[in-house]
Structure 1
Amino acid sequence: MRVIIIGAGEVGYQLTRSIVAEGSEVVVVDKDPAKLQRVSDELDVATINTDGSSPKGLEEAGAANADILLAVTDSDETNMITCLLAKSMFPSLKRKIARIRNLDYYRNEQLLRKESLDIDPAICPEIEVAEAIVRLIETPFAVDVENFEDGLVKLIGFRVPDDSSLRGVAFKNLPDLDPPKNFLIGIIERDGNVIIPTGNDRIKSGDIIYMPILKWEVGDSVKFLGASVKPAKKIMIVGGGRVGFHIASIMEAQADVKIIRLVVYGGDRDTCHHEA
């Protein structure tokens, strides 16, 4: 798979590192040679020092032969123009993904739909972070939670404690513990390694086990795991920025949320402002 990444900032760098690790071919485009230097020094990818939002820049990057375009500069407008140019000039480029922080753009389905900019999907980093935090707040026994099918299915990562009844149990013997009907452990993360378990593998304390669980069956799985879930009723968020605001917006119907915004006056003291 050939991927073009427009923007070599921190987001672009991290995306490049992850995509390269998956074995894909990546071309990174940016106007800033210093940012490109970091990418080329640390990652085995091609870099092009040009304006990726221009027709010439996209041509130089090989957009005609690319599978995916990721526009992740720090300018929403640049990212959207890049996707629009790619749609007009390179119809064979089927997937265009853009980083968009302005909520007026991000939530405008008419603007982003296939007939317009054809961005699928638009990604707002602050919302992604806020939603990840909310998932952990809603599932406090987990170390990782991903939602699928609009939250109907959850992939939950649970760290096995020393006193767990699962400790030392072979997978082939799990049915003896009378697990919930659809209980399934798909992956084990152990000492930084990913294991696809077989019947003879045993669960160890400290393992992170990943389980796909239907939303309405989370309670049964929690009970089986011996974990405790107490819904958050009071939440304090330190920081009134975009991420804090998004978390409060999502959680305000479920809990009493208070934001503490820290403002520094004259560089010598912090003053806290409380916002409901």
Structure 2
Amino acid sequence: MKVIICGAGQVGWQIARQLSGEKNDVTVVDNNPDLVRRATDTLDVQGIEGFASYPDVLQKAGARDADMIIAATHSDEVNMVTCQVAHSVFDVPRKIARLRAQSYLTAIYSDLYRRDHMPIDVVISPEKEVAEAAMRRLAAPAAFDTQAFLGGSAQLLGISLDDDCPVLNTSLRQLTDLFSTLRAIVVGVRRDRTLFSPDADDQLYAGDDVYLFCKSEDVARTLEIFGKTNRKQERVVILGGGNVGLAVAQALEARTDRVRAKIIEKNRTIAEHAADSLERTIVLHGDALDNEVLTEAGIARADAVLCVTDDDKVNMLSAVRAKQAGCAMAICLVNDPSLVPVLDALDIDAHINPRATTVSSILRHIRHGRVRNVYSVGDGEAEVIEAQVLSTSPLSGRRIRDIEIPEGVLIGAIMRGTDYMKPAGETRIEEGDVITLFSLADDVPEVERLLQVSIDYF
């Protein structure tokens, strides 16, 4: 597949890394020569310097025979014009654009992206994705990572194992026998900063980060078995009243269970806009690093603080201050992946990586086969793929134990109609089943082969 990626920033670079690693023909376009050079020096990609919306630049990038263009520059308008040029001049079949401005995303203007208007096949909103990720973190505070699959019937949970975890030094096979009615399966383990897919005889140790699939109704029981308790979030303080903070506050107001939320925002104009847009949420104008402002927001009694300003260091330092003041849980937005290893030492409970959420959204629309959902794990170390099994798939009609699945791949859950199934070696996968697979990055091409059908390329 020939793909042109416009924008060589964090998101563009990560997408280029994943697609080039899977032997796709990738060309990166950016008007910053340093970013283009970084991409060509570190990845197996071609680089073109120039403005992505210019027809002659797209011509140099090979747009005439491209299968897809991904517009992920820092400018919404450049991304939109790039897709228009790719359609009108080069007839590129698939066009994906990242758009940030909320005005472009309002549902009443969705006709804007019709083929005869502004022909964008998929619109990705980083702020919307990050807000949804924040809501998932708040819903499962005992997990460091969480994502819904199978229409909400299944949850991927990331859990850090403490010294007092009841299931340490127990093989996964024994866990299955001990908790035979628990609809949960461990699909990934990170140990000593290395992520792997475990087999039935592997044991779990203190300090491990485990990824597991479970039926949504079994989340509380699963967390309890792994030594975690899920506290209800009744008081939440949001640091940052921009698009992300505002979207989270609006989502909290829309929930049926009452949540008391407060926003702290340094910029008066943004604070006033947030106050006008919200009904029950209290908006405080002040500095998130000011202890007096945090005290006024009742940080000591808060169940969680969500730090989503546009400055990583402010998010991290304010999260530390909130925890020191007595807040039970701190979640912060971190754009720079090099800062993530510091979070544990700072006692920050969970973080949100905007790049990972945006990459997951884009991958969902470019994977081969009947793919419904994709979630990027860690720093692109693995992917969780949800897909429907068609009759011509190599998976259809075969028992799991008889399928030649790579070592780095595990099936986490199966949905047959409305029935949720926990996979086992004897489970037979049927046509029409929707399955979730945890796959290490190197094995994703083989997973695509198992899911791909010639008549259903995209």
SS class of match (2:185): coil
SS at match of 1:70: strand
- DSSP 3-state at the match of 2:205: coil
Q: Secondary structure at the match of 2:254?
A: coil
Q: Deviations over 1:229-248 (max 9, x none)?
A: 11111111112222211221
* Preserved contact between residue 179 and residue 224 of structure 1 (Cα < 8 Å): no
| Mapping for residues 75-154 of structure 1, pairs under 5 Å | 75-91=75-91, 93-107=92-106, 108-113=109-114, 116-154=117-155
CA contact (8 A) 2:167 2:225 kept: no
Note the alpha carbon deviations across 1:23-78, whole angstroms, 9 max, x for none: 54421112233432343444443211122212222221112333331101122122
227 and 64 in structure 1: CA distance in 2 versus 1, 3 angstrom threshold: same
Equivalent-residue separation in structure 2 for 1:249 and 1:166 (angstroms): 39
Show the counterpart of 1:204: 205
Does the CA-based 8 Å contact 1:180-1:221 persist in structure 2?
A: no
Q: What is the CA–CA distance in structure 2 between the aligned matches of 1:115 and 1:216, rounded to whole Å?
A: 44
> For 1:23 and 1:180, how far apart are their aligned partners in 2?
42
Deviations 1:198-240 (A, max 9, x none): 1221112222221222333322322332310111111111122
Where does residue 236 of structure 1 map in the other structure?
A: 237
CA distance in structure 2 between the partners assigned to 1:116 and 1:190 by the alignment = 50
Q: Deviations over 1:145-178 (max 9, x none)?
A: 1223454432111112211122111122112322
Contact 1:160–1:166, Cα closer than 8 Å, also in 2: no
Partner of 1:7: 7
Match in the other structure for 2:282? none
SS across alignment from 2:164: coil
Question: Taking structure 1 as reference, are residues 132 and 70 closer, same or farther at Cα in structure 2, changes over 3 Å only?
Answer: same
What is the TM-score of this pair, normalised by structure 2?
Answer: 0.53
Amino acid aligned to 2:157: I
**Corresponding residue for 2:395?**
none
The SS at the match of 1:185 is strand
Q: After the TM superposition, which of the residue ranges 213-222 and 108-117 deviates more from structure 2?
A: 108-117
Map of 2:412 onto structure 1: none
Does 1:167 pair with 2:168? Answer: yes
Change (3 A) 1:226 1:32: closer
Structure 2 CA distance for partners of 1:167 and 1:5, relative to 1, 3 Å? same
* CA displacement at 1:114 relative to structure 2: 5.3
Gaps of 5+ in 1: none
Shift of 1:257: 0.9
Identity %: 36
Q: 1:59 to 1:190 in 2, by over 3 A?
A: same
Q: Is the 8 A contact 2:21 2:44 kept in 1?
A: no
Q: For 1:141 and 1:4, how far apart are their aligned partners in 2?
A: 40
Instruction: Please list the CA deviations of residues 88-147 of structure 1 after superposition, one character each: whole Å capped at 9, or x if unmatched.
Output: 3444x4432211012222244322355654434312222222221221111011111122
Gaps of 5+ in 2: 269-285, 298-458
* Counterparts of 2:140 and 2:7, CA distance in 1: 34
Q: SS where residue 104 of structure 1 aligns?
A: helix
CA RMSD of aligned residues (A): 2.8
Hey, what does 1:222 align to over in structure 2? Answer: 223
Count of residue pairs brought into register by the alignment = 270
Match of 2:355 in 1: none
Q: Greater CA deviation, 39-48 or 71-80?
A: 39-48
Q: TM-score, normalising length from structure 1?
A: 0.85
Cα gap change, 1:24 to 1:142, in 2 (>3 Å): farther
* Contact persistence 2:164–2:227 (CA under 8 A): no
2: CA distance between counterparts of 1:112 and 1:147?
27
Pair 1:209–1:134, CA change in 2 (3 A): same
